[in-house]
Amino acid sequence: MNTPEAHEPEFLPLLSPRFVYKVAGVIALLAVLALAVSFTGQRLGESLALAGHTSSRQTYDIFIGQDHLRLPANIIRFESQRATRIAERVDLYLTWPALEGYSDETRHFFNDVSHPEKLIFLQIAQSTMSRDMSGRLDPIYRHVLEDVARPGPAGLMRYEAKPNSGYAGEVFFTATRPGRPDYVLRCLVPESETASSSADCQRDVHIGKDLTAIYRFSARLLPKWQAIDESVESFIQARLVP
């Protein structure tokens, strides 16, 4: 006769040690993955927020033709150009009117497309033409501009380009300057202020030994043309290494 003990079922643990170890391992792995995702997401978020900008003020020596520029990283527009090197050109961007680069304090200027008048864009390259924009007024531009001019902002005279010329749709602004060649500026004037961009107007000047600096700005800044021209030239001159 079997004793009651003979039919008593054996008590087995609900979770075996092996299963517990596996679960603990999975939990640990998930925790590590969560930390990695959080860290990567944070870094990615910071990277996306910077969108190619840098607040670093590390200086680089850029050699273009016969000229030597020393520039901080945070005014150099493209990451690929932030290095000491021999280059064909360098692209810069600056706040207006302070002419500062990207930083925690100025980041909103670089990310706010509704205020294009807060930035000026520059491209500095070796000169490929013997005359800058002012020097091209009489030999080239006079032939493609309408004869009648209209007053523009801050002493500028506004000329429409002839519709059958290669500059059709563009507007030229000029101004006389005592002791200096006439100021000349090319613009694609937007139909409204809301359509303005940071590149509505363009001017190029010779600077240094053999450089051409092309700078662009919003049509909203036309009344500031004199200050912009003087400030941009002084800014570049100050960064040329003798």
| DSSP letters spanning 181-218 | EEEEEEE---SSGGG--TTSEEEEEEETTTEEEEEEE-
Residue 87 · residue 81 · CB < 8 Å:
yes
In this structure, the answer to whether residues 89 and 114 fall within a common structural domain is yes
**Inside any domain, residue 228:** yes
160 burial class (0-12, 13-18, 19+ CB within 10 angstroms)?
Answer: middle
Kindly indicate the confidence band of residue 41, based on its pLDDT and cuts at 50, 70 and 90.
Answer: very low
In this structure, the answer to whether residues 41 and 76 fall within a common structural domain is no
In this structure, the answer to whether residues 155 and 224 fall within a common structural domain is yes
Q: What is the pLDDT of residues 100-142, one digit of tens each?
A: 999 999 999 999 999 999 999 999 999 999 999 999 999 999 9
What integer pLDDT is reported at residue 15 of this predicted model?
47
In this structure, the answer to whether residues 22 and 82 fall within a common structural domain is no
What integer pLDDT is reported at residue 83 of this predicted model?
98
Residue 193 has pLDDT above 60, yes or no: yes
- Residue span of the structural domain in which 79 resides: 59-238
In this structure, the answer to whether residues 129 and 227 fall within a common structural domain is yes
**Inside any domain, residue 185:** yes
User: For residue 215, what are the β-bridge partners?
Assistant: 122, 203
**Inside any domain, residue 1:** no
Mean pLDDT of all residues in 20-37: 59
**Inside any domain, residue 127:** yes
Give every CB contact of residue 141 below 8 A, 6+ residues apart in sequence. Answer: 167, 172, 184
- C-alpha angle 88-93-96 in degrees, rounded to nearest 5: 145
Query: In this structure, what token pair is assigned to residue 144?
Result: 């493609």
**Inside any domain, residue 2:** no
C-alpha to C-alpha distance for 41 and 159, rounded to whole angstroms:
53
Please tell me the least confidently modeled range out of 30-39, 130-139, 183-192, 232-241: 30-39
Q: What is the pLDDT of residues 142-166, one digit of tens each?
A: 999 999 999 999 999 999 999 999 9
Query: In this structure, what token pair is assigned to residue 91?
Result: 């692209």
In this structure, the answer to whether residues 113 and 215 fall within a common structural domain is yes
What integer pLDDT is reported at residue 28 of this predicted model?
62
In this structure, the answer to whether residues 72 and 110 fall within a common structural domain is yes
In this structure, the answer to whether residues 196 and 110 fall within a common structural domain is yes
SS3 content of the chain, % helix, strand, coil (to 5): 35, 30, 40
Angstrom CA distances, 97 to 202, 225, 230, 235, stand at 17, 12, 12, 12
Q: What percent of the chain has pLDDT over 90?
A: 76
In this structure, the answer to whether residues 46 and 160 fall within a common structural domain is no
Kindly indicate the confidence band of residue 191, based on its pLDDT and cuts at 50, 70 and 90.
Answer: confident
In this structure, the answer to whether residues 165 and 195 fall within a common structural domain is yes
C-alpha to C-alpha distance for 61 and 76, rounded to whole angstroms:
12
Mean pLDDT of all residues in 188-213: 94
In this structure, the answer to whether residues 46 and 64 fall within a common structural domain is no
**Inside any domain, residue 142:** yes
What integer pLDDT is reported at residue 170 of this predicted model?
97
Query: How many C-beta atoms surround the C-beta of residue 146 within 10 A?
Result: 14
In this structure, the answer to whether residues 130 and 231 fall within a common structural domain is yes
Mean pLDDT of all residues in 76-83: 98
**Inside any domain, residue 46:** yes
**Inside any domain, residue 3:** no
What total number of domains does the chain contain? 2
